[in-house]
């Protein structure tokens, strides 16, 4: 999502929408470790502070005005942040979509996309080779996933409730 689909390289600016989620925290940590300038959005001050501790250079309220446009946006939220994501990109920038937790039918923003030559790419899973490179990168940079909590499967309801109300940062892991 970051390196292959988004083309993130050292020195570029990346905006991560939804800094508190598992994908968002991973994107912040990995992009920062790769030498990118990382900006992140989150609804709460607590999540913005946590994003800064993970490596975000600056954080903003969801939908907040940025100091300048960015090279790459990591979009996992969907309808609630999509327009902000498109409007945050520099001409020629890349919007990487890998989630739609708030809805999957935002306005397309087609004029902005073609006039500014924005690339919109989807991302789900990588290849085995990409996974091997990611593991090597994480080992070299001492990057580890952010785990909010580990719950037995019979407490899955509690985990899903935390996801629905946004009271977590990182991944919620269920065990058998």
Q: Domain spans of the chain?
A: 13-145, 147-176
pLDDT tens digits, 122-132: 999 899 999 99
Q: What is the mean pLDDT of the chain?
A: 95
Confidence of residue 135 (pLDDT cuts 50, 70, 90): very high
DSSP per-residue string spanning the chain? -TTTTS---TT-EEEESSTTBHHHHHHHHHHHHTT-EEEEEESSHHHHHHHHHHT-SEEEETTPPPSS-EEEEEE-S-HHHHHHHHHTEEEEEEEEE---TT-S-----HHHHHHTT-EEEE-----HHHHHHHHHHHHHHT----EEEEEEGGGHHHHHHHHHHT--SBEEEEE-
* Cβ-based neighbours of 88, under 8 Å, separated by 6 or more: 15, 66, 69, 70, 73
pLDDT score of 146:
87
pLDDT for residue 115 is more than 90: yes
pLDDT tens digits, 10-69: 999 999 999 988 899 999 999 999 999 999 999 999 999 999 999 999 999 999 999 999
At the top level of CATH, the class of 13-145 is alpha beta
Confidence of residue 164 (pLDDT cuts 50, 70, 90): confident
């Amino acid at each position: 999502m970051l390196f292959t689909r988004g083309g993130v390289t050292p020195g570029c600016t990346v905006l991560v929408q939804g800094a508190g989620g598992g994908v968002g925290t991973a994107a912040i940590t990995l992009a920062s470790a790769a030498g990118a300038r990382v900006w992140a959005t989150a609804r709460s001050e607590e999540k913005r502070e946590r994003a800064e501790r993970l490596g975000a250079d600056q954080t903003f309220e969801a939908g907040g005005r940025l100091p300048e446009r960015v090279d790459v946006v990591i979009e996992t939220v969907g309808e609630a942040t999509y327009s902000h994501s498109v409007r945050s990109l520099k001409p020629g920038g890349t919007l990487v979509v890998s989630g739609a937790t708030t809805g999957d039918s935002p306005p397309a923003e087609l004029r902005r996309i073609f006039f500014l030559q924005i690339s919109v790419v989807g991302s789900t899973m990588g290849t085995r080779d990409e996974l091997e490179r990611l593991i090597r990168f994480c080992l070299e940079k001492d990057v580890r996933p952010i785990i909010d909590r580990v719950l037995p499967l019979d407490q899955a309801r509690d985990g899903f409730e935390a996801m629905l109300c946004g009271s977590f940062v990182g991944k919620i892991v269920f065990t058998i």
